A = this chain, B = another copy of it.
Amino acid sequence: MSKSSNENSARERVLDVAEQLFASRGYAAVTLKDIAKQLGIKQASLYYHVPGGKEDLFVEVMLRHLERRRQGLEQIIAAGSLELEDCLTRVGVWLLSQPPLNASRIVSTDLPEIAPEKARQIERAMRHCFFTPMERFFARYQDRLRGDAGFIAGRFLSSVEALSLVKRYSPKTDEQLLAETIDLLLHGALKS
């Protein structure tokens, strides 16, 4: 690698903190002072690590996050068992272990706040790293599915994302909620 891991670590820590804050409160509500405070430094010091300022910081955070998703998803999908339900469970468990993406809020609320070209870049990455891998995964089971693999992939991803909201009101564990979510997606709400 071109840089030692130590040279990277400080910058990575900035990105980690920014990621957590942007993810939970959104682009507009998070200030550079918030990020700096959590790092134990002053706001102006952030510009040493991220000369491009707030907007570029957000773009970097998002692209790094999405690339990590893509790698994680494709690894699980490639190595996963051939059983659909097992593989979905593994994907779901891993997704829940990651910082929440909140894709809907990002697209409709965060992206309009930044420069259009940067917004498009992030939107492209979301499709490429998040949606497309799952769509390809479901496409492998197309013959066993009723309906479009892309539509089902979208339903799966948004259902798993919605769990971070459901968790606030439900006493059930993540594993239980995930199992119910997958069961509902695959077999439906009606008794057969």
A146-B104 contact given A109-B25, A152-B184, CB 8 Å threshold:
no
Interface centre among A102, A109, A191 (most CB of B within 10 A): A109
Nearest 5 A/B pairs, CB to CB: A188-B188, A28-B28, A28-B29, A187-B188, A105-B105
The A contact surface, by secondary structure, is: helix
Chain copies in the assembly?
Answer: 2
Picked from B112, B169, B188, the residue with its CB within 8 Å of the CB of A25 is: B112
Instruction: Kindly state whether residue A115 has any CB partner on chain B within 8 Å.
Output: no
Chain A, residues 20-41, CB within 8 Å of chain B (1/0): the string is 0000111011000000000000
Q: Which residues in B have their C-beta under 8 angstroms from that of A170?
A: 151
**Are the C-beta atoms of B146 and A24 separated by less than 8 Å?**
no
Min C-beta distance of A123 to chain B, whole Å: 9
A107-B165 contact given A112-B25, A184-B152, CB 8 Å threshold:
yes
Chain A interface size band reads 35 or more
Of the listed stretches A1-9, A44-52, A156-164, name the one at the interface; the rest are far from the partner chain. A156-164
Complex: how many Å from CA A169 to CA B130? Answer: 14
Closest to A127 in B: B169
Picked from B29, B127, B162, the residue with its CB within 8 Å of the CB of A158 is: B162
Complex: how many Å from CA A183 to CA B170? Answer: 25
Instruction: Kindly state whether residue A113 has any CB partner on chain B within 8 Å.
Output: yes
**Are the C-beta atoms of B146 and A187 separated by less than 8 Å?**
yes
